[in-house]
Structure 1
Amino acid sequence: MYGKCGRTDEAQRAFDSIAHKNIFSWTSILVAYFHAGLHNQALERFHQMIKAGVEPNRLVFLAALNVCGILKRLEDGAGIHRQIQDKLLDSDLEIGNALVSMYGKCGRLDLAKQLFNCLERRNVISWTILVSVFVENGRRRETWGLLRSMAVEGIKPDKVLLLTLLNVCSSRGVLDEDSWMAHDYIVKQKETIES
């Protein structure tokens, strides 16, 4: 309750008063810090949880991977990836998407794309994440190849992906070839999304 209200000090005090902390109490405090935007503290709680011998669950792994991407903490993210592999959770689509995002945000587009290619199944969220990290890392030209591959796979873009492409148009404040390509793609896909 304190965490959802953004009162992390009170949430921490309530957490500290728990004599026997379990996965639910650790998840609550980690997510409280994550939602408050206190990402360093969230990652710190993750490491404390591991030291306390508590096994992370799927939600904790997702939050920790998101934090590593936001903070660009590649080493921590790679360590969490190894833990996920040990628990055989890397075939989970949401975990796979979070791994692609984390590696991409940390600038390791090679690993992000490799993991993306290894996903047993992919959805529009998977594609949006991959396109987003390429755009964020200034690899706009390769974005068009990804969009072509996405079309071949029969995946239709959603509004989030189109907003990501609008970033291509607005990021430099000039209308260049990439901007026109993004605009044309958005116009062509708009009817698909509205129907």
Structure 2
Amino acid sequence: MRAVPARRIPSWAWVSGLTAGAIVAVAVLAVQAEGGPQPTAAASPRPTASASADAKPSASPTDTAPVAVPDDSGTGRRIVYSLGAKRVWLVDASDATRRTFAVWPGTVSPDPGSYAVSSRNEGTTGSDGVEIEHIVYFTAKSGVSIAFSNALDGSSPPPPAQGTQTGGIRTRVADGDALWAFGTAGTTVVVVE
């Protein structure tokens, strides 16, 4: 019997086979990842407030479990700000909450109602003397501009001097980044009790 010489598999076949195997492996891992736990935007801690004159806002406020967007906040893509809860929701066009976080309100609160982002400013010095960024203006009341912003250094706002009117609604830095990206000019802002 005569020996049959072994055939060599061409290199292109090896490369094609390995590439196909890698694609299958990546597809299997992607399907497994889809079925596994998904990351969610964690709610930022809730700021605390005190009525005492010498109180200082907490730099590390505590928060409770994520809160559902208020029922009376409309529909569609919007920023929702609850005066009572001291909380903001970023809601997409399908009415799904993309992010919710607690805020430190200023001394002048907007009236409940529907507004639109009127202008934005990348950074300035706040009325409290703190360097702020990601300022998203949406209304004014009693001559005070009301806007969302965050301190550049991530700090909570200092207590305002007695009688000082501030319209800044402060956020943590990561929340300010998210609100800045979401709150483009014309974006609806709904203020609820």
Larger fraction in helix: 1
TM range (shorter): under 0.3
TM (norm. structure 2) is 0.21
From the CA coordinates, give the structure whose radius of gyration is larger.
2
| TM-score of the superposed pair, with normalisation by structure 1 | 0.21
Which has the larger strand fraction?
2
